[in-house]
Amino acid sequence: MSQALPSIGHWIDGQNVTGGVRSQDVFNPATGQAEKTVLLADKATVQAAIASAEKAYPTWRATPPLKRARVMSNLKTLLEQHSEKICSLITAEHGKVAGDALGEVQRGIENVEYASYVTELLKGEHSRNVGPGIDSWSELQALGVTAGITPFNFPAMVPLWMWPMAVACGNTFVLKPSERDPSSALYIAQLAVEAGLPPGVLNVVNGDKEAVDTLLDDRRVQALSFVGSTPIAEYIYSRGCAAGKRVQALGGAKNHAVVMPDADIDNAVSALMGAAYGSCGERCMAIPLVVAVGDKTAHAVVAGLKEAIQKMKVGAGTDGRNDMGPLVTKQHFEKVKGYVDQGVKEGATLVVDGRGLKVAGYENGFFLGACLFDHVKPEMVIYREEIFGPVLGVVRVKTLEEAMHLINEHEYGNGTCIFTRDGEAARYFSDHILVGMVGVNVPLPVPVAYHSFGGWKRSLFGDLHGYGPDAVRFYTKRKTITQRWPSAGVREGAIFSFPSTK
């Protein structure tokens, strides 16, 4: 049956190509039906993409940065014009509701916009007369062939965190999107050619571990950006570094929101609803844990959330009235549901149980209703592990110190936030919390495109964060040049001591 489905291939050297004998079904999560298949690139196909990127590199590197920047400006316009089409591809394969897909595309466009300022970002530093008649300057040079491996949950945005800045800096790129929802990244790569990107500067290979391992091991790939789960991030980082590459690998998360007794509870509850259940909880900046300071606070938060959940609309992402769509695949649905079962077994109080949800007309879809646990304890699996679904747990503590101790002891450190009216508490929290991205009365503190994105602890392997100014550093190498043009007739003898400015 799957042979009759439309097949998604690869984008190499500015052409749609097939490659690899293995393939995988791509599902519409709302209907539960396989609607397409995606080819899984074999080693030879990935090597062809790398070869194309290598061939395109010398000319692209020599292209004036302003011309490269203009391609990004053109791409921004094209992405705006075609955003509806991109959103429909996202919803059809990921399942997220249309408004959320549009938010993702808009955030992606902002990264393209930032990459269009690359002429400003690539300016080096210059010092005249560092010694008699000697000038010195540094410049940021491209690396060569670079690569990116991206997760399913932001199929359009996360690729746009990577390749626009990489190519704007003069590199060429091979992208390996998630095999679960590959179409939007592929479509955007084709728009990039329309925007003026020469063939081979950006190549897209679809695939799985075989494709990834080929990118990791190939000596021509100079740097690799990864976003996905922590076990794979750690694998990518260690294998990529061992192969001598520059690697940044962004991993999983378990973000805590602290609610203080003085917080505006209505406001906090509204913010938590979106942060916990938006995109079905499939965001690395989602809030799956609330740490309520004091029983009175916990009681008010749980009551508020319970009431708000009853008003939530869950259904197909194509219906603009829905707040939350399905989970991405049947396997992921089973995994998340398994965590809810586990939480019940571990003794947490299941205040709202979304496991029985059926959406009329979409009975085979991967829908799980919002779930809410109270009395979650730090030793429970549902506290420790990333669930990546619409499951929110409330942990009760007595003090801010206790809340911060929990967060600081957790293996992940991607995002966190605090709801309070107390500026001193917020400042102390922001200063001492061991987490990379912090919100104060802001539930999803995802940095804008001109700042950089990254967690701490096991949420990021590598030194530089994703996108923003750190991406310019990641996709370039600094070179420092010191130059002298001796005047005619002036000759110095050999100097054996180390030159310095006395």
Q: Which stretch binds ligand NAD (CB under 6 A): 118-126, 163-171, 174-182, 474-482?
A: 174-182
Is residue 335 classed exposed, middle or buried when 0-12, 13-18 and 19+ CB atoms within 10 A define those classes?
Answer: middle
Residue 212 binds ligand NAD, judged by CB under 6 A = yes
If the CB atoms of residues 28 and 459 are measured against ligand NAD, the closer one turns out to be: 459
What beta strand segments (E) does 321-381 contain? 349-352, 371-374
If the CB atoms of residues 151 and 315 are measured against ligand NAD, the closer one turns out to be: 151
- The mark string for 20-59 relative to ligand NAD (x by CB under 6 A, - otherwise) is ----------------------------------------
327: left (phi over 0), alpha (psi -120 to 50) or beta: beta
Residue 253 binds ligand NAD, judged by CB under 6 A = yes
Q: Find, among 210, 206, 247, the residue nearest to 226 by Cα.
A: 247
Cα gap 287→271, rounded to integer Å: 10
Residue 249 to residues 147, 225, 271, 341: CA-CA distances in angstroms?
12, 6, 29, 31
**Residue 284 annotated among the catalytic residues of the structure:** yes
- The mark string for 388-407 relative to ligand NAD (x by CB under 6 A, - otherwise) is x-------------------
Residue 134 to residues 109, 124, 364, 487: CA-CA distances in angstroms?
43, 17, 73, 11
Catalytic-labelled residue, pool 280, 284, 371, 417 = 284
Q: 204 Cβ partners below 8 Å, 6+ apart?
A: 10, 11, 12, 49, 174, 175, 176, 177, 185, 186, 189
If the CB atoms of residues 296 and 384 are measured against ligand NAD, the closer one turns out to be: 384
If the CB atoms of residues 57 and 226 are measured against ligand NAD, the closer one turns out to be: 226
- The mark string for 256-275 relative to ligand NAD (x by CB under 6 A, - otherwise) is --------------------
Q: 146 Cβ partners below 8 Å, 6+ apart?
A: 166, 171, 172, 173, 174, 221, 222, 223, 224, 225, 475
Residues 130-159 that bind ligand NAD (CB under 6 A): 149-154, 158
- Please count the residues of the chain: 502
Residue entry with tokens 């094209």:
78
Is residue 145 classed exposed, middle or buried when 0-12, 13-18 and 19+ CB atoms within 10 A define those classes?
Answer: buried
Residue 284 binds ligand NAD, judged by CB under 6 A = yes
The residue from 227, 348, 403, 472 that contacts ligand NAD (CB under 6 A) is: 227
The residue from 10, 68, 96, 176 that contacts ligand NAD (CB under 6 A) is: 176
Q: Which residues lie across from 221 on neighbouring strands? A: 145
Which two structure tokens, joined as six digits, stand for 459? Answer: 């949420």
Residue 209 binds ligand NAD, judged by CB under 6 A = yes
If the CB atoms of residues 374 and 386 are measured against ligand NAD, the closer one turns out to be: 386
Sheet holding 415-419, edge to edge: 349-352, 371-374, 391-397, 289-293, 256-259, 415-419, 437-440
If the CB atoms of residues 440 and 446 are measured against ligand NAD, the closer one turns out to be: 446
The residue from 459, 461, 465, 467 that contacts ligand NAD (CB under 6 A) is: 459
Residue 414 binds ligand NAD, judged by CB under 6 A = yes
The residue from 37, 229, 318, 349 that contacts ligand NAD (CB under 6 A) is: 229
If the CB atoms of residues 31 and 279 are measured against ligand NAD, the closer one turns out to be: 279
The residue from 179, 323, 374, 470 that contacts ligand NAD (CB under 6 A) is: 179
Q: What residues are annotated to the active site?
A: 284
The residues binding ligand NAD (CB under 6 A) are 149-154, 158, 176, 178-179, 208-209, 212, 227-229, 232, 250-253, 284, 386, 388, 414, 455, 459
